[in-house]
């Protein structure tokens, strides 16, 4: 049977989830949170990854006593995580408070490292896609750019792998910045962010605990074949119970509302759970609220992270 290290290496190489060897980072600016519900300071960390810059934002709150935990939160863009509008939320007419997961984590005393998604940054900057609302119309051109830039390289680089590699570089930037010394690291994400949080926790042992809401565990249960993820090339003979099992023995919480995650993929959850000692440490939170994250569920996730790491 392959070792855990061999299995992790297989997934990393299959996805291309390896940080850019030429990647770098630099400190950015500072700003105050724009929402009155949290006090503190946001420090920007600018990562240079695969030829592009991504501006990550670290919120260190003073609203509540610090838990000493930094939660890495991947999302389309960083501002809505702090209940601030972005061009994407304004285009769709969405209330940014509906995805203010960073704000809710900060209210529980956690620091938050918000990491934007490269494909959204490309789509928002291109006049041809900046006004598109549908996933395919908005992100397929960015996926085509990704193919042009990385096909034929020495190592495959899927869109999913690229996104996870960006997160790994962001974690390195956080650690080297000195902004969060002695902090314990966690990851959390919803939907797209849940997919990335799951993969980051599985493939980067620096993450000490993770949680994902509605990621769509299992290749049959979400849009993993889309060009900005695996581009139709689903691994044969393997599924994400194996990937999730790589998190063990570190704690992980899978949460679902019956949309992407629920009773339909419990078999994969239980298959992964056998990798934990006495099947303790992989937890499940199911609710009937559908795909969005209800406020009380987000509060429960924030508390769960604190209990596991504090």
pLDDT in tens, 54-99: 999 999 999 889 999 999 999 999 999 999 999 999 999 989 889 9
Query: Does residue 240 carry a pLDDT above 90?
Result: yes
Range with the poorest average pLDDT among 30-39, 72-81, 188-197: 30-39
Query: Does residue 1 carry a pLDDT above 80?
Result: no
Residue 61 φ then ψ, to 5°: -80, 155
Tokens of 300: 């429960």
| Band of residue 153 on the pLDDT scale cut at 50, 70, 90 | low
Instruction: State the alpha helices, DSSP H only, in the chain.
Output: 4-15, 87-92, 101-107, 118-125, 135-150, 159-177, 192-203, 240-245, 266-273, 295-309
Is residue 244 within 8 A of residue 266, CB to CB? The reply is: no
The whole-angstrom separation of Cα 56 and Cα 165 is: 14
Is residue 78 within 8 A of residue 55, CB to CB? The reply is: yes
Q: What is the pLDDT of residue 96?
A: 87
Query: Does residue 135 carry a pLDDT above 70?
Result: yes
Residue closest to 83 by CA, chosen among 120, 42, 38: 38
The whole-angstrom separation of Cα 67 and Cα 218 is: 32
Q: What is the pLDDT of residue 144?
A: 97
In our burial notation (b when 16+ CB lie closer than 10 A, e otherwise), range 27-60 reads ebeeeebebeebebebbbbebbbbeeebbbbbbb
User: 34 in helix, strand or coil?
Assistant: coil
Return the CA Rg of the chain: 18
Is residue 165 within 8 A of residue 187, CB to CB? The reply is: no
The burial of 271, by beta-carbon neighbours within 10 Å (0-12 exposed, 13-18 middle, 19 or more buried), is given as middle
Alpha carbons within 13 A on the beta-carbon side of 214: 17
The per-residue pLDDT of the chain, averaged, comes to 96
The whole-angstrom separation of Cα 259 and Cα 265 is: 11
Identify the residue with better confidence: 176 or 1: 176
What structural domains does the chain harbor?
4-309 (3.40.50.1820)
Query: Does residue 154 carry a pLDDT above 80?
Result: no
| Band of residue 310 on the pLDDT scale cut at 50, 70, 90 | confident
Angle between the N-to-C axes of helices 4-15 and 159-177, in degrees from 0 to 180, rounded to the nearest 10: 110
């Amino acid at each position: 049977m392959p070792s855990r290290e061999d299995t992790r290496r297989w997934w990393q190489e299959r996805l291309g989830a390896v940080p850019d060897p030429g990647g770098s980072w630099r400190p950015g600016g500072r700003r105050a949170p724009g929402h009155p519900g949290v006090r503190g300071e946001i420090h920007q960390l600018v990562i240079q990854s695969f030829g592009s810059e991504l501006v990550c934002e670290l919120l260190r709150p003073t609203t509540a006593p610090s838990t000493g935990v930094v939660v890495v939160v991947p999302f389309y863009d960083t501002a809505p995580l702090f209940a601030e509008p972005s061009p994407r939320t304004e285009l769709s007419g969405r209330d940014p408070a509906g995805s203010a997961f960073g704000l809710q984590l900060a209210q529980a005393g956690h620091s938050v490292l918000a990491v934007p998604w490269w494909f959204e940054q490309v789509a928002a900057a291109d006049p041809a896609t900046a006004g598109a609302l549908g996933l395919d119309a908005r992100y397929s051109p960015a996926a085509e750019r990704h193919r042009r830039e990385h096909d034929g390289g020495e190592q495959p680089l899927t869109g999913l792998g690229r996104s996870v590699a960006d997160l790994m570089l962001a974690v390195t930037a956080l650690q080297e910045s000195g902004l969060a010394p002695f902090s314990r690291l966690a990851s959390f994400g919803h939907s797209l962010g849940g997919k990335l949080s799951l993969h980051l926790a599985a493939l980067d042992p620096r993450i000490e605990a993770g949680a994902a809401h509605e990621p769509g565990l299992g290749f049959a249960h979400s849009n993993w074949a889309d060009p900005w993820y695996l581009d139709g090339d689903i691994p044969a003979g393997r599924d994400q119970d194996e990937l999730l099992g790589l998190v063990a023995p570190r704690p992980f919480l899978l949460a679902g509302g019956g949309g992407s995650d629920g009773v339909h993929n419990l078999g994969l959850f239980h298959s992964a759970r056998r990798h934990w000692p006495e099947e303790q440490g992989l937890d499940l939170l199911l609710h009937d609220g559908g795909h969005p994250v209800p406020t009380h569920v987000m509060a429960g996730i924030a508390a769960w992270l604190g209990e596991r790491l504090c």
